[in-house]
A and B are shown apart, each in its own frame.
Chain A
């Protein structure tokens, strides 16, 4: 605890006192059902309260029937939410942690798909994501919006919240009014900053009137929309000052970007440096008298403490850090920060699932999103479990099994643990991905897994051991594509990253996976001086990078490295031309043949399951389970989920 000078200093937020400076700030979860908060919401927030969060702010609650941009939005305007609110607040308050509800109307950043009503916005300008022309609000409709906020604040008070936060930052009708990019009105709600802020101030007054003096009211503002003609920091500071001047706002929360235009900077992946948005709270804090929250890829308590120490903010929002490890704060306070399951900022199962209308999860934490479902007790304790393979699947199986009281030995044939993770993380911009196995390896040591590296096991050995169960997590091996023949200069991504091949000159990367494999190796080789072209049979190179918000940064990196991208082509064959490779291709939409001559061809293609032990262990008297890539080569999350599941099932 002595490491931290500021993190565990209590702070007053109007009527509230928080015990530490870590906020679990608002984020979507898709846990709602039929517009109502669920048991899962309560369990999810309660886990973070139990883990010591200083303040919890729930996901947004819609303030109006015209606002329904995605299916699983909480309909705060419907009084039937109150029992669900009460369930959440009771569960969080049981741990002595205050909880606020975030109120919002998404305005024009929505479609009518669910509401079947016109979308409301200050001006008839379509949102860049939803692309539906909204109805410009008439004055009586503005009054109805303000009334909606007040009504939902009433519901929140009745439901036991300690106050509310107004989301005016990245997807909000209030943002829409504040921003010159989306507000082209000529009446008293458009034009000058005073006019554009009028809706915000009317809402503040209406909500405060409902809350009275004993509930907290926060306002979350965007410090830079990162869009043309949008709000930038000077106006954000001015709006914060307007809020402060009302005397009715207890704190300012901050964010960066517009959810429907520049989301990749709101929920930045590991491609964006930590602390990238702290210029916003820093500037606002200089100008206001109330506490200010800073956010943006805080994944380490020391990092948060330093930002506080530097005066950048009064509180720090740690969202993904607490999605990955609900005990983030408790472990920091106990001086055990090294035990924190550090967030990777990979965005694969949190951000990536949100955009697809799926429940919020975590690549590392198989319990995230499943907090309300109790795990079964082990069928029998202290079983002797042998795990073969030390990648994320095997490590997760070993850790969970040991945590549940089994005696676990893990065999890894290589001299290091982690499977393909260290390989993937060897590309500089992907280094933080290594935390997934770093965290697991540390956990394995803590819970007493007997880890044997450089230890290849055979079916005979496993049979001879006669364990209670064997878990096979033997991974996958590269698969040579049919068209590659035996050309030495057609290699796999893993050959490059594991150092078996060192392409030079002109390189073609063939991408059939659509994820980080091809783009990572392209970036690496371009940095080594190669001329790189990435080609894919798909319509977009790195298609799934869009889900994790890495597509924008990839394209910028590709441009600065002169990496070219070619889509809609299928390899049809490859021949040698001296040392070089001639790749025959077909542009499948037009049926046009083309070719490329390159010094090297690097393949990012599906791997093959390494299931030799599985085949050899058929018919053994003890149960044999198969998890992760040796079942079917997929991404890390599948490995972790299956490792956890098989260990729980023992």
Chain B
């Protein structure tokens, strides 16, 4: 495999062609890299990453884009610790300045930008950079790069992609200057790259992350601009990305975008680039990455989320074993959020928690016990998998005909098919580890009473009772179908991915669909995954009527009564059937106080909690002194 083999870059050797790209983690301490960062990067390096690019550090204190954003001046010790912990992997320090896409909330300072153009998201007007600020910025890039390399980094990656003042200078949308930097939009980038090279000397690597398409062809950076710009760049490595002021989620989208969506763009750029090029953008499988290399699309592949999901991705690919898949859900790894969530993964909850959560390792020796896991959703499967890994004899009984639990239905929703890969992987790993997987195998209280080993309950959820005078389906029934004839009202008090995917699927099936939410927009919770604006756009394009700021008061005789949440004004809309995407209730039939349980049967939540709790129950049982059921 080309992907897993070494690659030489400016006299240094990356042990594989897989890059772990820079991303927000919220692992920082103040504005420095923390011991949590070090552990986070170290396991990816140990798992075979060729290049680890650390979280983007602001080069100048005029930039403080999010609370835990690293500041280069405070990153020296952290960079050194990361490099020391990353073995053979090359470590590059990502350096950036968010410019007008930053935040004044933490710095209490004006934003810096090429022109007085407010950011589309924050609507905050920046300060126009004058020659003084431009000189300070260039010097700051150079100084930060010098510090990174002095701290042991193999080089730096200059950020001109998703949120970057350098990209803002390149773009006609944000650069409306009348001076030389407006006439030659690439001038600042060239000056910065030259200053950085001068600061790091001839031996260190200089990489560039460049937006080659802002998806705003009326004035933004287009692929044609990029093809003009790239040949003259003096860098060692170019990461081709798409990102721009109106592109929102385009840089690291969820599964609504196909794997490797930048493939064509990257191939075009590589054709004119006199240096190696990295393919970025939702590449999550070894097969896709390998094919891109074989087809000459790129020289290396960024697989960031794939390595958040599976730190040992490259090791698995080398061994021919199946890595835990990234399903591009963005539910736990996309953490640019005011609450400062820690980067993690729904399928690998230890990600981001390497310093506190134990590694799940196979047991060597010791005496196994008999364990019955009741329920074959993600909680039960992860629990069984880890128990088997720890050397226990595990039987998993699933009441229905297939494994996967609630995920099997969720995966039928529009844009969510990839979720299935996670439960399939869990089931396959259970099988590999010798778990006795039984479907169509319901368990009764009497069965449990008679069972001699330990028991873990992962029996999932049930729909909540609702009382509307029209046919009512819960989201899972609606996804499986059939849905009775007539106008459908999707009732979504949650605002997560489920209601949206149900509405989209039904609309795609040709149904007349309304989606009711008490919020001013649909899918409020999807701000975290990046799908918030996109899902509202998709729904409107699909002809789904958004019934916003509305409570569903009554449904009967083919109509539903909606009430404005703030004014109390009522209105009627056609409704032959309600699909309730509201919260569910735990299935507790088999529960007696003290029985270990995990996932939705504790409280119906997401895959993340199911996997986390399934794993915890397994590790707790494994370390318990007596495993025999009382």
Q: Residues of A with Cβ closer than 8 Å to B?
A: 70-71, 112-114, 116, 118-119, 124-126, 128, 131-136, 138, 140, 353, 356-358, 512-514, 539-540, 544, 551-552, 555-556, 559-560, 568, 587, 589-590, 606-609, 631-634, 638, 641-642, 645
Q: Given A118-B603, A357-B339, does the pair A131, B525 have CB atoms closer than 8 Å?
A: yes
Partner of B585, one of A124, A540, A552, A638: A124
Q: In the complex, A113 Cα to B108 Cα: how many Å? A: 27
Interface centre among A126, A128, A551, A641 (most CB of B within 10 A): A126
Contacts A126-B583, A589-B541, A632-B110 given; does A131 touch B495 at CB 8 Å: yes
Q: Flag if A135 contacts B105 (CB, 8 Å).
A: no
User: Out of B124, B128, B536, which one reaches A589, CB within 8 Å?
Assistant: B536
CA distance A590 to B533 in the complex (A): 13
| CA–CA, A606 and B118, complex, Å | 8
B603 touches A119 (CB 8 A): yes
Question: Residues of A contacting B340 with CB < 8 Å?
Answer: 71, 357
* Contact B540–A356 (Cβ < 8 Å): no
Q: Tell me whether A632 and B125 are in contact in the complex, defined as CB-CB below 8 angstroms, given that A539-B520, A556-B567, A606-B118 are known contacts.
A: yes
- Is the C-beta of B104 less than 8 angstroms from some C-beta in chain A? yes
Kindly list chain A residues whose C-beta atoms are within 8 Å of the C-beta of B190: none
Inter-chain contact A135/B602, CB cutoff 8 Å: yes
Q: Which residues of B contact A633 (CB under 8 A)?
A: 125
Chain A residues whose CB sits within 8 angstroms of the CB of B353 once the complex forms: 116
Question: B605 within 8 Å of A by Cβ?
Answer: yes
Given contacts A357-B338, A540-B521, are A631 and B593 in contact (CB under 8 A)?
A: no
Chain B interface extent, by class: 35 or more
Tell me whether A356 and B549 are in contact (CB under 8 A): no
- Nearest to A589 among chain B residues (CB) is B537
B67 at the interface (CB under 8 A from A): yes
Residue numbers in A under 8 Å from B603 (CB-CB): 118-119, 124, 132-135
Give the nearest-CB partner of A513 in chain B: B123
Q: A539-B533, A590-B540 are in contact. List 19 more A-B contacts (CB 8 A).
A: A71-B340, A124-B586, A124-B604, A125-B583, A128-B518, A131-B494, A133-B584, A134-B603, A135-B586, A358-B67, A555-B567, A559-B569, A589-B540, A609-B128, A632-B110, A632-B111, A632-B116, A632-B127, A634-B110
* With known contacts A632-B111, A632-B116, A559–B564 Cβ distance under 8 A: yes
A568 cross-chain contacts in B, Cβ below 8 A: 536, 540
Q: Is B47 an interface residue (CB 8 A)?
A: no
Q: What residues of chain B lie closer than 8 Å to A555, measured between beta carbons?
A: 549, 564, 566-567
B116 contact set on A, CB distance < 8 A: 606, 608-609, 632
A118 CB contact (under 8 Å) in B104, B584, B602: B602
- B126-A632 in contact (CB<8A): yes
Chain A residues contacting B108 (CB-CB under 8 Å) are 641, 645
A590 in contact with B125 (CB, 8 Å): no
When the two chains form their complex, are residues A638 and B110 in contact, meaning their CB atoms are under 8 A apart? yes
A125 to B108: give the CA distance in the assembly, Å: 39
Minimal beta-carbon separation of B494 from chain A (angstroms): 5
Residue of A nearest to B528 (CB): A113
Do B584 and A638 touch across chains, with their CB atoms under 8 A apart?
Answer: no
Task: Chain B residues near A131: list those with CB within 8 A.
Answer: 493-496, 525, 583
Instruction: Produce 1/0 per residue, B333-369, CB < 8 A to A.
Output: 0000011110000000100010000000000000000
Inside 8 A of A134's CB, which chain B residues have their CB?
603
Question: With the chains together, A514 CA to B119 CA distance in Å?
Answer: 13
Residue B297 CB within 8 A of the other chain: no
In the bound complex, what is the Cα–Cα distance between A411 and B124 (angstroms)?
28
Q: Which of B127, B340, B566, B613 has the most C-beta atoms of chain A within 10 angstroms of its own C-beta?
A: B566
Q: How far is the CA of A118 from the CA of B597 in the complex (A)?
A: 12
Min CB distance B44 to A, Å, is: 21
> How near does chain B come to A522, taking the closest CB pair, in angstroms?
16
- Per CB-CB distance, the 4 closest pairs between chain A and chain B, nearest first, are A589-B537, A559-B567, A356-B338, A135-B603
Indicate whether B106 reaches chain A with its CB closer than 8 angstroms.
yes
Residue interface mask B93-128, A partner, CB < 8 A = 1:
000000000001110101100001010000111111
Contact with A along B546-559 (1 / 0, CB 8 A): 00010000000000
B127-A631 in contact (CB<8A)? yes
Closest CB-CB distance, A125 to chain B, in whole Å? 8
Q: In the complex, A70→B67 CA distance in Å? A: 14
Q: How far is the CA of A162 from the CA of B52 in the complex (A)?
A: 52
Q: List 22 A-B contacts (CB under 8 A).
A: A112-B609, A118-B613, A128-B518, A131-B525, A132-B603, A132-B605, A133-B605, A140-B593, A357-B338, A358-B67, A513-B123, A540-B520, A551-B520, A555-B564, A559-B564, A559-B569, A568-B536, A568-B540, A606-B125, A608-B116, A631-B110, A633-B125
CA distance A356 to B586 in the complex (A): 32
Chain A residues with Cβ below 8 Å from B126 are 632
Residue of A with least CB distance to B520:
A540
CB nearest neighbor in B for A635:
B124
Contact call B106/A358, Cβ cutoff below 8 A? yes
Indicate whether A539 sits within 8 Å of B110 (C-beta atoms), given known contacts A113-B339, A131-B494, A632-B126.
no
B389 within 8 A of A: no
Q: What residues of chain B lie closer than 8 Å to A71, measured between beta carbons? A: 339-340
Q: Please, how many angstroms separate the alpha-carbon atoms of A555 and B519 in the complex? A: 12
Q: Would you call B3 an interface residue if the criterion is a C-beta within 8 Å of the partner chain's C-beta atoms? A: no
Q: Does B612 contact A (CB under 8 A)?
A: yes
Cβ–Cβ contact A539 & B338, under 8 A? no
Instruction: Give the distance in Å from the alpha carbon of A81 to the alpha carbon of B233 in the complex.
Output: 54
CB distance from B412 to the nearest CB of A (A): 22
Contact present for B593 and A138 (CB under 8 Å) = yes
Given the complex, which residues of A lie within 8 Å of B105, measured CB to CB? Answer: 353, 356, 358
- Select from chain B the residue with minimum beta-carbon distance to A588: B537
Smallest CB gap from A357: residue in B: B338
Q: In the docked arrangement, what's the CA distance between A353 and B586, Å?
A: 36
Contact for B521 among A124, A539, A642, A645, CB less than 8 A: A539
Interface pair A514/B536, CB less than 8 Å apart: no
How far does the alpha carbon of A138 sit from the alpha carbon of B592 in the complex, in Å? 11
With A140-B593, A539-B521 in contact, is A634–B125 under 8 Å at CB? yes
Nearest chain B residue, comparing its CB with the CB of A540: B520
A616 to chain B, nearest CB (A): 14
In Å, the complex CA distance between A135 and B603 comes to: 5
* Chain B residues numbered 574-615 whose CB sits less than 8 Å from any CB in chain A: 583-586, 593, 602-605, 609, 612-613
* Measured CA separation A357–B68 after assembly (Å): 12
Chain A residues within an 8 Å CB radius of B124: 634
- Find residues 325-339 in chain B having any chain A CB closer than 8 Å to their own CB: 338-339
Minimum CB–CB distance from A641 to chain B (whole Å) comes to 5
Q: Which residues of B contact A589 (CB under 8 A)?
A: 536-537, 540-541
- B583 neighbours in A (Cβ, 8 Å): 124-126, 131, 133
CA distance A631 to B130 in the complex (A): 11
User: What is the bound-complex CA distance between A551 and B533, given in angstroms?
Assistant: 20
Docked Cα-Cα span, A556 to B106, in Å, equals 33
Q: List residues of chain A with CB within 8 A of the CB of B537.
A: 589-590
Can you name the residue of chain A whose Cβ is closest to the Cβ of B582?
A: A126
> Are B110 and A590 in contact (CB-based, < 8 A)?
no
Complex Cα distance, B119 from A606, in Å, reads 11
Q: Inside 8 A of B593's CB, which chain A residues have their CB?
A: 138, 140
